[in-house]
Structure 1
């Protein structure tokens, strides 16, 4: 609850909103859901939403650094989650130097104090906010040098995550962690039903937008844009989809007339891609009824159709008993391969989550295998980097079900370069023995 309303469009309001979202993450809520709740509570307008979201995501990316800095700057821990989150957000705005700094440093301090004063949970500590942030500005270089001697601040990942990555990828762990700290690109999938990659690149050039082809139908924009401003998006010429995720549909060897299941389908990116490639009888399944409208919205924009059902991919009550020619099983996981898009994941996950989610994935794969027609293909996908959820899962499934494993990319490590820029996904393709 606030004491006094903050001015609409002010940095203080954005800092306050971001702090409310980060505090919710600290209590276990995923950042997108936390932001949605804050936007609703504040009745935030689009411009304010953008600023709040930007600060919240910055805070999550620099969360480890902020925790170490606060330990150096303050003699005691912040008195409330809201105060801790506000300081994290302000520090995230003060860490960048030069042209990358989004706001004048002293403006950030003043507005953070205003944000603290406006909230009952933080008002008693507005003097502390002022003192801590001004000290950081005075001693910035020294404090950052001291903080970055700690792995938590240097890498911005929990200690268990760093150790697990070192154990799983002893040669590549540094590059993987660095890639996860980069800002994600805005990558588009060109709809070959409506245009070609060459023609679409020409459309972007005519609009003054720089872009680069980084996959068969993948185009990366040099500068992210709101989707409504992307040429051809509303008309269905392109969809937003990471380059690694665009590999799923081609691997399934789809042909017209096939009966296809997209299990765990929301938000529908892979659903749309499959339908762009062939005329299919496709069932898009998701366990969350609130996510089905998102699939429907994407298909409507692409002028494509599929049957949508709410159901658990580990259950059978939604299945009509008719086998599928192709099954895409994008199973639940820790999402450790997409942390650059969802920086809160690393702080929400616990070391034991990997085994629990691997168990969920195994039940889904075993269940869906029974629904696959003889000679049919099942593509197992996960956005995890942990072998227990990816390669070990695939190998165990193949042995358990005597499934023929076909060529597929396997573990794709996240890349953040010019020509190779994609999330970390895993692919394993299986075929059922024909009768």
Structure 2
């Protein structure tokens, strides 16, 4: 194949087509792009008409045939899902081939197994496109920020939910109407569960945490709450109180002394709708855009912002990974040593802290009987549980009762849960209508 790098592309959907378009039009791009050659492509239907011109002889409906092709040097997995993606990735590794994937689901759940297999085989598995679409975040965590102690990651990393929340706030619309609009525009899937229930964001924060903190993450243990039950009234109250509501994925190092070279650290991970102060940089991230805020020592805070999905954005990240591997292959033909900045390996054990120990501010909306002393009783319960109140406001009463809004200072989840359990049983309290986190 002369000096070309043979690419085996698994899938020719949105991402795969985007990759093929870049590879087939190298002019004006980095010179390494011209060294990439599409050798084999796996598709579901070979006879289907496509918007891109391809040599039909390189198409097959058998993805395993692509992986096994001796002329394929890098396998690009763009089919998604767990299987057969996982099996195809592991097969490629066993055959000594590096892999590029945008598959956050398989990496979040099987990343440790895959990275160990890759390290043992002396090949790379690069995943820039798995989080944040076109935003470069994986490589900066592995390289540019490598000299930092990462303290916290806070991200808007699901474009579908961010679009829905942005439109609900902008148009004063309800969730179901905006979801339907997002589906009509192609921003939301016909079955939007993975997005709106927070699972997609949980996959992504799991991956980012593993890179930032140095150990594999128990994906299924991440506390996850989506936006499907969020009422527009909360968004209206948020605005009145100086906040925007965003679905945030948060990961933070909860160890007391972050400078200690300990081998096992507690991490606080969660995905949930969160009150974000209007002066916070994440509050102005709207539409389908993503943004990831990294807090580290000594860098302080840096934010990565941009399109979180789409053919162009995701394909950009995929091709960047191909170039990283291809450059090494072309420049170090005989050198089998892995570049430690590109390879990944766990260097300590991480564990999820007890969710009740994670601290954050809280927004609570209570519906109560409109009677003197009710705010005092609520305050007494919070005080007994050492929950410090930042503000407590009663809004106009209605036939349903009085509405009381409480914003707390930062307290543990256990403290707020214990308080709300007691408050729920006060005879003056009709309902705890909402409880959300605040930054």
Q: TM-score, normalised by structure 1?
A: 0.25
The structure that has the greater radius of gyration is 2
Task: Give the number of the structure whose residues are more often strand, by fraction.
Answer: 2
Q: TM-score, normalised by structure 2?
A: 0.25
Task: Give the number of the structure whose residues are more often helix, by fraction.
Answer: 1
